[in-house]
Amino acid sequence: MARVRGFRHSGESREEAPEHSMDPRATEEAPYRPTVIDNAIYRDGERVDNPGSLADAFERLKQMPDSMAWIGLYRPKEWELVKLGEEFQLHELALEDAIVGSQRPKADRYGDTLFVVLRAARYLDEVEEVAFGEVHVFVGPNFVITVRHAEAPDLQGVRRRMESEPELLRQGPQAVLYAILDAVVDGYAPVIAGLQKDIEEIEVQVFGGDPSVSRRVYELSGEVIEFQRATSPLVGMIHGFIAGAPKYGLNDELQRYLRDVADHAITVTERISSFRQMLQNILIVNSTLVTQAQNEEMARMTEASIRQGEEVKKISAWAAILFAPTLVGTIYGMNFDFMPETHWVFGYPFALLLMGAVCLVLYTIFKRRDWL
């Protein structure tokens, strides 16, 4: 294979794949590391050679047909993957996915080669985000090639584990794939714990009346949904491996290991589903509590307005009662010569009686209307 379809050689700029624009958080930014992290030849569960280059690994594998090559790459150059594709007869579509990155978890078989995409995860508690890593695994009859696009998962730890268990490593590339699956699924446990802790904190905030909790719930829901997308295909993928065990030579022991990983993956997916439901319920409860608080505030404002209105009515009633004698007194207090009332002997008592009668009538009216 001289060239992968849809890509330029390494000397030219690489076109950005649609997946990158759709998911900007798909990979983590990491410091530079050498492309080849580890390159080893294994026979009967033991490391027998450490080739200095990929070309040496190809040559050694040809010299020892009963051995297995395990090549670990970290963000390799396009030409390196093209070279690997030529040597191991990797399908161009699988190489294209490995070059682009940002793929969904999946397992595709191309002849004797199985291509698996896994998404590891780790939880960043300080920013409440799930950081996703990605690993592409090519599994052939006598080789395993891992291509990582982020720091996670720690495949060096997987290699150390396998080298410490030669009986398991002796079972070949399928055993290595199991170990990688197991490491990725086990790595979800701290993420589950981090999400659980944040949900518990959110519940305290909701019932404590924190107004900023809605934004936190919304953002955490997005992280849970993205985590669910990364984990939900795993159960079907692993069950597919188990179903194809007779055809591809997986022994009973390895099938038991895979079933254990499947059980852990099911537990993870169930917990994530419960987290989504809990966050949805929290949003509903928070909305209900906010609405209830708003209604209570409106009720308090209404009661205050009613009390204020009652006071205004009382003040207005007394102002009207006091205005009547003031009006009469003002009229009788005008100093005009031609006012017969001022020269009437009963004018003063009549004025007092008139003011009192008007006040009494107004008081009776306001009292009957509950203004006083």
The domains of the chain, with CATH numbers, are: 1-163 (3.30.460.20), 305-368 (1.20.58.340)
Q: Say if pTM beats, i.e. exceeds, 0.85.
A: no
Q: Cα(358)–Cα(365) distance, rounded to whole angstroms?
A: 11
pLDDT on residue 206: 84
Rounded (10°) angle between helices 92-100 and 78-88: 160
**12 versus 220: which is more confidently predicted?**
220
Q: Is the pLDDT of residue 24 over 70?
A: no
Question: What is the rounded average pLDDT of the residues 76-97?
Answer: 87
Which of 12-16, 338-342, 351-355 has the weakest average pLDDT? 12-16
pLDDT on residue 25: 40
pLDDT on residue 190: 92
Q: Cα(261)–Cα(182) distance, rounded to whole angstroms?
A: 6
**286 versus 67: which is more confidently predicted?**
67
Q: Is the pLDDT of residue 29 over 60?
A: no
Q: Cα(223)–Cα(127) distance, rounded to whole angstroms?
A: 11
Q: 184-198, 248-262, 291-305 — which one is most confidently predicted on average? A: 184-198
Q: Cα(62)–Cα(51) distance, rounded to whole angstroms?
A: 13
pLDDT on residue 338: 66
The residue length of the chain stands at 372
Which of 4-8, 256-260, 270-274, 363-367 has the weakest average pLDDT? 4-8
b/e string for 44-65 if b means 16 or more Cβ within 10 A? ebebebebeebeebbebbeebe
Residue whose C-alpha is closest to residue 27's, from 111, 121, 144, 96: 121
pLDDT tens track for 287-342: 777 777 777 778 888 888 888 888 888 888 888 878 878 877 777 777 666 666 66
Cα–Cα distances in Å, from 267 out to 39, 128, 189, 254, 337?
34, 22, 10, 20, 107
Q: Cα(42)–Cα(58) distance, rounded to whole angstroms?
A: 13
pLDDT tens track for 112-171: 899 999 999 988 877 778 888 889 999 998 899 999 887 777 888 999 999 999 999 999
